[in-house]
Amino acid sequence: MNFLSFLKVALTAISRNRLRAFLTILGILIGVGAVIAMMAIGNGAKAKLEAQLNSMGTNMLFIHPGAITAGGVRQWGAGQKFYPSDVKAVRQNCPAVAYAAPSIEKVETATTGHENWTTQIIGVDPDYFIIRNWNVAAGRLITHQDVSGGALVCLIGQTAMQNLFGSEDPIGKIVQIKDVPLRVVGILAKKGETPFGQDQDDCIMVPYTTLMRRIIGTPNIGGLMVSATSSKNIPEAEAEISALLRQRHHLAPWQPNDFMVISLNSFVQMKEAATSVIMLLLGSVAGISLLVGGIGIMNIMLVSVTERTREIGIRMAVGATEQDILMQFLIESLALSIAGGILGMILGSAAAIVISKVAGWNVVISPSSIILAFTFSAGIGIFFGYYPAMKASQLDPIEALRYQ
């Protein structure tokens, strides 16, 4: 007996009990739907995360004052302060570092005379734009001359620009921050959100020297922002910077670091860990419903075998072998589980599209997830259908024929 004949017999048997068949495949349907949705959402979220990380800059490292323990109390950011000279030292002494810039920021209110807007004021030097892979949409960047002269110029992010100038062209106009008048020389290109939900376009950039001396009034910078020569060199850059700073801070070998070097990759890992928790959760929902679905199929197939004992006897009496009966029931459960799988794929894809629309990322329904879902449901059909099919094939023809 060939496969098509088996399939026809199986489909006839299923179509005799449509409602029951549908209820049976519900578990598989939900399970496969969850797998598809989970993978699509996971891939979409990952793609978005990657795009956001690229917007922050590549191969980045942040250096901050570390925690020190004073009187048994650990104080974050209370370690040794950083100065512009540290940036210079890192540039000169760390071969694995491509670019280094001071990192100094302050939240202040900017005014244009008729509008006020509280925003992030970022102190920059030309390396900053390279590290962050950022350029202007109009106007010019902040130059070395601006930095060395402490020029009263600024670049404006697009969110801050909208709130301060509306639709007006801001270039050449004056923005006042703490009574310091700054001339807008450029509009920053749009960046979007960081993976942490911060609007990167809500900022005003000034030469870091201007920010230190004129706006904040401090001799030190908040920290350093550095890019490694390649992603492979990030650990090396980290080691070089640590060694250099320990030396500059005169730390004895037994003393812990009084600074922190954090790579962007560690943020990525954090973020990815959070996503994978969600994935794991969805995955277990999928797994459990697939398991329950499989048990449902097994249950219904056992009922079906009992109901059709006489039919099995008749088939055996006219020459069906054990193998024929086994195949008949196995294909029936396979047909059920694959039907559930296909419906689940449709449902899961629909759910993924809806969720992605809401969350605002691209749906990524990969062929591999379709193949995975398909093999999974087929596997479940075979695994959970095998025992009932085996039971059917082991029936004694005489007993089966006598069954009422």
Partner 1 sequence: MSLIRLEEIKKDYRLDGVIVPALQGINLEINQGEFFCMMGASGSGKSTLMNLISCMDRPTSGKYILEGEDVSQLDKNALAHLRNKTIGLVFQNFNLLSSATALENVELPLLYGGVPAVERVKTAKQLLEKVGLGDRLHHYPTQLSGGQQQRVAIARALVNSPKILMADEPTGNLDSQTSDDIMAMLTQLNKDGLTVILVTHEPDVARYSKRVVLMKDGKILKEEKR
Query: Residue 311, interface with partner 1 (CB under 8 A)?
Result: yes
Query: Residue 309, interface with partner 1 (CB under 8 A)?
Result: no
Q: Applying CB under 8 A, what is the total number of residues that bind partner 1?
A: 23
User: 48 or 315, CB closer to partner 1?
Assistant: 315
Alpha carbon separation from 31 to 302, 372, 384 (Å, rounded): 22, 12, 15
Please report, as residue ranges, which positions from 1 to 30 form the binding site for partner 1 (by CB under 8 A): 1-2, 5, 12-13, 16
Query: Residue 357, interface with partner 1 (CB under 8 A)?
Result: no
Query: Residue 316, interface with partner 1 (CB under 8 A)?
Result: yes
Question: Smallest distance, Å, CB 313 to partner 1?
Answer: 8
Query: Residue 307, interface with partner 1 (CB under 8 A)?
Result: no
Question: Smallest distance, Å, CB 282 to partner 1?
Answer: 41
User: 12 or 368, CB closer to partner 1?
Assistant: 12
Query: Residue 313, interface with partner 1 (CB under 8 A)?
Result: yes
- Interface with partner 1 by CB under 8 A: which range of 142-150, 318-326, 353-361, 367-375? 318-326
- Interface with partner 1 by CB under 8 A: which range of 61-69, 218-226, 315-323, 342-350? 315-323
253, 319, 360, 367: which one binds partner 1 (CB under 8 A): 319
User: 7 or 244, CB closer to partner 1?
Assistant: 7
Please report, as residue ranges, which positions from 378 to 397 form the binding site for partner 1 (by CB under 8 A): 397
Question: Smallest distance, Å, CB 301 to partner 1?
Answer: 17
Binding site for partner 1 (CB under 8 A): 1-2, 5, 12-13, 16, 310-311, 313-324, 397-398, 401
